[in-house]
Amino acid sequence: MTSPRLGLGLILLATVLTVAVGALGPSAVTLTLGPRRTLLPPYYLPAGTITTPNEWVVSGVLFGAVVIGGLGLTIAMRALRDGWHPRVWRVFTFGVGLNLATLMVPPMTSADVLMYAAYGRLQKLGIDPYDITPATVFRSQYDPVLRWTERPWQDTPSVYGPIMTWVQLQANNLGGENMHDITFWLQVFAFVPFLVTSAVVVWLSHGDELLKGRGALLTIANPLLVWAITAGAHNEGWALMFAMLGLMLMRRTSVGAGVLIGLGGACKLSIGLYGLAMAWGYRRQPRKLVGLLVGTGLSMGLLYGLFAPDALFAALRNTSYVSVGSWAQPFYTLLTYFMSVPTATSVLTVFSLAGTVLVAAMLSRVLPWHPVAGTPHGVAPDRDPITIAVRTALLLSVGWLTTSLYTLSWYDLIAWAPLALVGATRLDWLFTWRGVLLSLSYIPGRGLDYGESLNAFASRIRDTFSPGMQLFVLGSIAWWWHRDHLRRVAEREGPAPTPRARVIAALGRVRSVRDRALRARH
């Protein structure tokens, strides 16, 4: 059996390396948060203790940490398939420890968290973050928080839903006028919903010890998510937390489930994929389907319609971007030689939407049906609303993530949660190494000026290796579907004839042709 200790040891090593880089303080990969005036985390060496770490050293350590984490996760998942039955509380506690350790040092590689702080700061100043950008303010006056923001999003209005905007304001209320303290609260607010989401995944696995261990490993103890969510302080967990809580309520109250998925949509619109999945789960129960729609309409209607009408239009701005490291990036570069940027984006968007539907359709044929905990005795998995919703959420999420023009490693959280619940599939290792390459694409990922050699190395990962991996994932899903299709055809047609039977059949056809020819002569 593959050693689970080796897998968990590598995951631990990846976190230790990450924390070590963060503890060194501001560098090419670790954010500069300004002065520290309290004893709150994040902690790092005082200024002047050491010289600023070399950009190649800190970037190289993080490159290694991400790859080591991917290897550790692969080995641990293989151990589960080989029969390892971990105690779920141990794996879960292990994962919580990894996240808390990461929470103690500054965020790395992505300056998104500084923009969260900036949008909250604008609200505290009485400014609408959907209308006025941080740069508009700090270019005209000094501000102790906004001055620490970084390119490239300083001139971009907020694209976040009303709940996330409220969270950003609360972090500013707690952190005052100190970017260091505001960032700490944003790190906490990124971790807590991730923790709740992971707990819900484990709860939905109760009754199956192997699946519970898998749920803990693929969520809270997943080194790729520890890196993407906690080390980067990204807020993806909020939308998914509400969606997973909504899934829990599907058997009890459809209206309550709808309210929760609506709250998720008020964090990030892409979680609407889970709403579609829940609606599909209720398709044979019209009353509950109506309840789901009513609940969703109530929460989203109030939050977007009454409190933040600008947020809906702001969120739609994200649809026009093409991210580096995605499958579309090399095609986008090629198309812009022959057509305008808007036209190239429109062409790729058509392929992206068609691809989402196609990938989801292929996965619907090959993904297994694994009953979610609580499925009534005697009810087939494909008749249980929650099981249907979880499986559909997975195939829709994977379809969107693998074909979207704008895809980032922290977006994958919405796929890992349902993936943990359907049991082992080829998507396990495909999403592991997709996540590794996407993570490497943003090391270093800040809008700073780097040395020529590091910039060239990072660019090759972004424009060649990561897009290549994304295309490989798409090809692997297509091949998986093709092989399954051939198997289904073979099952319908019966077992293939043996070579001897084929020879006898061929001789019979020859004799038949000869006999017809002889009869024609006479």
Write the DSSP string, 25-39: -SSSSBPP-----SS
DSSP-derived secondary structure letter, 496: P
Query: Cis bond leading into 42, ω under 30°?
Result: yes
Q: Is residue 233 part of a domain?
A: yes
Helix boundaries (H) for 109-178: 112-124, 134-138, 162-175
Least confident of 24-33, 47-56, 363-372: 47-56
- Quote the CA–CA distance of 407 and 405 in Å, as a whole number: 6
Average pLDDT over residues 419-441: 97
SS3 57: helix
By the 8 A CB rule, do 345 and 362 touch? no
By the 8 A CB rule, do 395 and 364 touch? yes
Q: What angle do CA 72, 74, 76 make, to 5 degrees?
A: 70
- Quote the CA–CA distance of 472 and 485 in Å, as a whole number: 20
Above 80 in pLDDT, residue 494?
no
Token pair for 238: 């909020």
For 173-194, how does the pLDDT look when each residue is reduced to its tens digit (9 = 90+)?
999 999 999 999 999 999 999 9
Predicted confidence band of residue 374 (pLDDT cuts 50, 70, 90): confident
Provide the pLDDT for residue 519. Answer: 64
Least confident of 31-45, 344-358, 421-435, 493-507: 493-507
Above 80 in pLDDT, residue 247?
yes
- Quote the CA–CA distance of 488 and 69 in Å, as a whole number: 37
Per the rule left: phi > 0, alpha: psi between -120 and 50, beta: everything else, 450 is beta
Provide the pLDDT for residue 515. Answer: 66
Average pLDDT over residues 223-245: 98
From the number of C-beta atoms within 10 Å of its C-beta (0-12, 13-18, 19+), residue 16 rates as middle
Provide the pLDDT for residue 319. Answer: 61
* Cβ neighbours of residue 86 closer than 8 Å, sequence gap 6 or more: 4, 80, 213, 216, 217
Above 90 in pLDDT, residue 498?
no
Provide the pLDDT for residue 320. Answer: 66
Predicted confidence band of residue 443 (pLDDT cuts 50, 70, 90): very high
Query: Cis bond leading into 152, ω under 30°?
Result: yes
Q: Is residue 204 part of a domain?
A: yes
Above 90 in pLDDT, residue 92?
yes
Q: What b/e readout covers 312-343, taking b as 16+ CB neighbours within 10 angstroms? A: bebbeeeeeebbbbbbbbebbeebeeeeeeee
Provide the pLDDT for residue 504. Answer: 67
By the 8 A CB rule, do 234 and 24 touch? no
Token pair for 390: 């979880």
DSSP-derived secondary structure letter, 419: H
SS3 375: coil
* Cβ neighbours of residue 6 closer than 8 Å, sequence gap 6 or more: 72, 75
Q: What percent of the chain has pLDDT over 70?
A: 93
Dihedral of the alpha carbons of 416, 417, 418, 424, in degrees to the nearest 10: 60
Q: Is residue 303 part of a domain?
A: yes
For 147-182, how does the pLDDT look when each residue is reduced to its tens digit (9 = 90+)?
999 988 899 899 899 999 999 999 999 999 999 999
Average pLDDT over residues 246-271: 96
Q: Is residue 484 part of a domain?
A: no
**Domain of residue 142, residue span:** 4-322+406-473
Domain count of the fold of the chain? 1
SS3 108: strand
By the 8 A CB rule, do 397 and 199 touch? no
- Quote the CA–CA distance of 227 and 296 in Å, as a whole number: 32
Provide the pLDDT for residue 496. Answer: 58
Least confident of 134-138, 303-307, 329-333: 303-307
Q: Is residue 358 part of a domain?
A: no
Residue 251 pairs in a beta bridge with: none
Token pair for 444: 């270093």
Above 80 in pLDDT, residue 392?
yes
- Quote the CA–CA distance of 500 and 398 in Å, as a whole number: 45
Q: Is residue 265 part of a domain?
A: yes
By the 8 A CB rule, do 444 and 454 touch? yes
Provide the pLDDT for residue 489. Answer: 85
- Quote the CA–CA distance of 477 and 363 in Å, as a whole number: 7
Average pLDDT over residues 245-267: 97
For 73-86, how does the pLDDT look when each residue is reduced to its tens digit (9 = 90+)?
999 999 999 999 99
Q: Say which amino acid occupies 143.
A: D
Above 80 in pLDDT, residue 497?
no
* pLDDT, mean over the chain: 93
- Quote the CA–CA distance of 290 and 299 in Å, as a whole number: 15
Above 70 in pLDDT, residue 510?
no
By the 8 A CB rule, do 389 and 281 touch? yes
Q: Is residue 355 part of a domain?
A: no
- Quote the CA–CA distance of 85 and 261 in Å, as a whole number: 33
- Quote the CA–CA distance of 192 and 198 in Å, as a whole number: 10
Above 90 in pLDDT, residue 492?
no
Above 80 in pLDDT, residue 64?
yes
Predicted confidence band of residue 488 (pLDDT cuts 50, 70, 90): confident
Nearest to 370 by CA among 293, 432, 292, 427: 427
Cβ neighbours, 10 Å, residue 41: 18
Q: Is residue 24 part of a domain?
A: yes
Predicted confidence band of residue 48 (pLDDT cuts 50, 70, 90): confident
How far, CA to CA in Å, does 149 sit from each of 70, 187, 237, 263, 515?
A: 31, 16, 23, 28, 89
Average pLDDT over residues 240-259: 97
